[in-house]
Amino acid sequence: MKKKIIEMPCLNEARKREVKKDIPTSVFKMDDTLSKLGEGKYYLIITHGCQANQRDSESMAGLLEAMSYKPTEEKEKADVIIINTCAVRQNAEEKVLGEIGDLKKLKKNKPDMIIGIGGCMAQEEEAVKIIMEKYHQVDVVFGTHNIANLPKLIKDATESHQRIFEVFSKLGEIVEDVPATRFVNHKAWVNIMYGCDKFCTYCIVPYTRGTERSRSMEDILNEVTDLKNKGFKEICLLGQNVNAYGKDLKTDYGFGELLDRVAKVGIERVRFVTSHPWDFDETMIKAMKDNANIMPYLHLPLQSGSDHILHKMNRRYTAEQYRNLVDLIRKELPNYAITTDIIVGFPNESDEDFNDTLKMVDYCKYDNAFTFVYSKREGTPAAVMPDSIPQSLKEERLQILNKKIGEYANMNNQKFMDQVVEVLVDGKSKKNDKTYSGYTPENKLVNFTGENVAIGDIVKVKITSCMSFSLNGYML
Ligand code: 5AD
Ligand code: SF4
């Protein structure tokens, strides 16, 4: 099949950052000729990766529904299948390639089906080359900056029977009012900024998601107010590094002020992810202290407890600075649960470096942690750093770390024994219709028994047993 290349990804282009200037904002408008294209047809979106991808998938769903496509869970029934991919680690990419491979047979039986690949893998030169050469069943590859153009790309691929590649490596623009279909009606992600300028040396995100671009406070507050009016109970402000919010806007306010204003809209629960320890400031702590509806939960990625590795990672803080920040948070916000991200096996991480990470875990006593073995990402500075640490030792370190994380998670959860907690209900157990699950303000997963409970209710639950990664109880 012929291919139409509008633009291919380029990591070198994506690396460039322009001097901060006004970020243009445009308002999405759907072309009338596209709105009936999906009539009588179905779509399915498969989402991998982080919350930014989850939120982007809601926009993709909104765009497809604006074209009159209807959702389906069955691959066989779908006329459009989109895979929203993650590039942060190699194994996530391998999973996606396997998934695309599995779609080959389906496409053979249904040649008019459109298969689209979006997300962070679509921003990677190597990954797109592989898709172009080996995975001919893929019709559309679109980048993280090209989502608003998805309807047009699907139309072009459907009508021209060509494969279409449109991946911009850089885009300064923010598109407001892109239609979105929220996947649940009680909790919503709200983007406050896009991209990342931190360039941690292991990370592909600054290349796949581009320059930091903040949405205007007014647009964010309007979205939160609208969600509140629609009955949403919880919002989570989203950014790769929310603390950098506003740095690109020509205003004198930052994330602390935004958080305070958002909380004052009065929605029951406000959360935010992710905070970089580097530009965490006192106005954020003040906002958290002043507003009871900001949930007592903080995700504060550590990555490593060794100064030497932190420096090689370009994390911009030392172990001592991180400890001081945790001390400040524990003092000012004593009821907060703290979780983190940690990478083991960064190039040439020594036993001593790894021990420093373990020591930091002992110091911070995290409620939980997402832990990873370092994964080499082509095009990042760490990919060319010498590394003589065997993979098996890296895996061993992960096991040791996970054991420690589990012990502290368990210890922290034991504090909830016999307590009454408030749970925002997410769903009913598939196995037992009197068992429900949801999260406490501290982001602890609770499984509980109860009756006549609806998704989105906030209910009181008495805790009767505490496991490392969840709590059990009954509704009062
Ligand atoms: N290898 C392993 N883990 C990574 N992360 C980001 N890049 C890599 C990589 N190359 C982890 C970091 C980050 C989380 C989202 O993913 O811990 O905080
Ligand atoms: Fe990646 Fe670092 Fe940016 Fe997080 S802050 S997205 S780890 S570069």
Q: Closest-lying ligand to the alpha carbon of 89?
A: 1
| CB-based contacts of 340, cutoff 8 Å, min separation 6 | 299, 300, 301, 302, 364, 366, 369, 370
Residues 394 and 446 in one domain: no
Residues 99 and 217 in one domain: no
pLDDT over threshold 80, residue 289: yes
**Ligand 2 atom with the shortest distance to the CA of 240:** 6
Residues 144 and 82 in one domain: yes
Q: Closest-lying ligand to the alpha carbon of 344?
A: 1
pTM for the model: 0.94
Distance CA 179, CA 33 (A): 16
9 close to 122: Cβ distance less than 8 angstroms: yes
Residue 20 — very low, low, confident or very high, per pLDDT cuts 50/70/90? low
The residue whose C-alpha atom lies closest to atom 9 belonging to ligand 1 is: 375
Q: Write down which residue in 166, 200, 226 finishes a domain.
A: 166
Distance CA 415, CA 438 (A): 18
**Which of 77-81, 104-108, 172-176, 261-265 comes out lowest in average pLDDT?**
172-176
User: The domain spanning residue 342 has which CATH number?
Assistant: 3.80.30.20
**Ligand 2 atom with the shortest distance to the CA of 206:** 8
Is the distance from the beta carbon of residue 299 to the nearest atom of ligand 1 less than 6 Å?
no
Residues 91 and 189 in one domain: no
Residues 225 and 294 in one domain: yes
**Which of 4-13, 131-140, 254-263, 453-462 comes out lowest in average pLDDT?**
4-13
What token pair was written down for 470? 């969840």
pLDDT over threshold 70, residue 19: no
| CB-based contacts of 428, cutoff 8 Å, min separation 6 | 435, 436, 453, 455
Indicate the length of the chain as a whole number. 476
Q: CA distances (Å), 113 to each of 81, 138, 152, 270, in order?
A: 8, 10, 16, 40
**Furthest C-alpha separation in the chain:** 65
Of 429 and 134, the one with more pLDDT = 134
DSSP 80-99: EEEEEE--SSHHHHHHHHHH
Q: Give the residue among 53, 157, 52 at the shortest CA–CA distance from 115.
A: 157
Distance CA 19, CA 381 (A): 22
Domain span at residue 402 reads 174-414
Give distance in angstroms: CA of 188 to centre of ligand 2: 23
Is the distance from the beta carbon of residue 377 to the nearest atom of ligand 1 less than 6 Å?
yes
Residues 410 and 421 in one domain: no
**Ligand 1 atom with the shortest distance to the CA of 202:** 10
Residues 208 and 135 in one domain: no
Residue 119 identity: G
Number of domains in the chain: 3
Residues 203 and 221 in one domain: yes
**Ligand 1 atom with the shortest distance to the CA of 342:** 17
Instruction: Specify the pLDDT at position 26.
Output: 87
Distance CA 247, CA 241 (A): 11
Residues 382 and 430 in one domain: no
CA angle 401, 402, 406 (to 5 degrees): 120
| Residue pointed to by tokens 């407001």 | 176
Q: What are 214-244's pLDDT values in tens digits?
A: 999 999 999 999 999 999 999 999 999 999 9
User: The domain spanning residue 146 has which CATH number?
Assistant: 3.40.50.12160
Residues 128 and 214 in one domain: no
Instruction: Specify the pLDDT at position 172.
Output: 61
Give distance in angstroms: CA of 87 to centre of ligand 1: 10
301 close to 276: Cβ distance less than 8 angstroms: yes
Q: What are 83-126's pLDDT values in tens digits?
A: 999 999 999 999 999 999 999 999 999 999 999 999 999 999 99
Q: Write down which residue in 148, 166, 184 finishes a domain.
A: 166
Q: How many C-beta atoms lie closer than 10 Å to residue 226's C-beta?
A: 12
Residues 36 and 100 in one domain: yes
Instruction: Specify the pLDDT at position 432.
Output: 79
**Which of 143-157, 171-185, 340-354 comes out lowest in average pLDDT?**
171-185
pLDDT over threshold 90, residue 30: no
Q: What are 244-287's pLDDT values in tens digits?
A: 999 888 788 899 999 999 999 999 999 999 999 988 889 999 99
Q: Closest-lying ligand to the alpha carbon of 207?
A: 2
Residue 298 φ/ψ, nearest 5 degrees: -135, 125
pLDDT over threshold 90, residue 352: yes
pLDDT over threshold 90, residue 73: yes
The residue whose C-alpha atom lies closest to atom 5 belonging to ligand 2 is: 198
pLDDT over threshold 90, residue 416: yes
Distance CA 312, CA 299 (A): 22
Give distance in angstroms: CA of 204 to centre of ligand 1: 9
**Edge-to-edge strands of the sheet including 337-344?**
297-299, 337-344, 368-373
Mean per-residue pLDDT for 446-463?
96
The residue whose C-alpha atom lies closest to atom 2 belonging to ligand 1 is: 374
pLDDT over threshold 60, residue 36: yes
Instruction: Specify the pLDDT at position 6.
Output: 83
405 close to 430: Cβ distance less than 8 angstroms: no
Instruction: Specify the pLDDT at position 430.
Output: 75
| CB-based contacts of 295, cutoff 8 Å, min separation 6 | 269, 270, 271, 441, 442, 443
Q: Write down which residue in 117, 134, 166 finishes a domain.
A: 166
Distance CA 180, CA 303 (A): 33
Give distance in angstroms: CA of 48 to centre of ligand 1: 14
Distance CA 41, CA 198 (A): 42
User: The domain spanning residue 433 has which CATH number?
Assistant: 2.40.50.140
Is the distance from the beta carbon of residue 207 to the nearest atom of ligand 1 less than 6 Å?
no
Q: What are 423-448's pLDDT values in tens digits?
A: 999 998 777 788 999 999 999 999 99
**Ligand 1 atom with the shortest distance to the CA of 303:** 17
Residues 161 and 198 in one domain: no
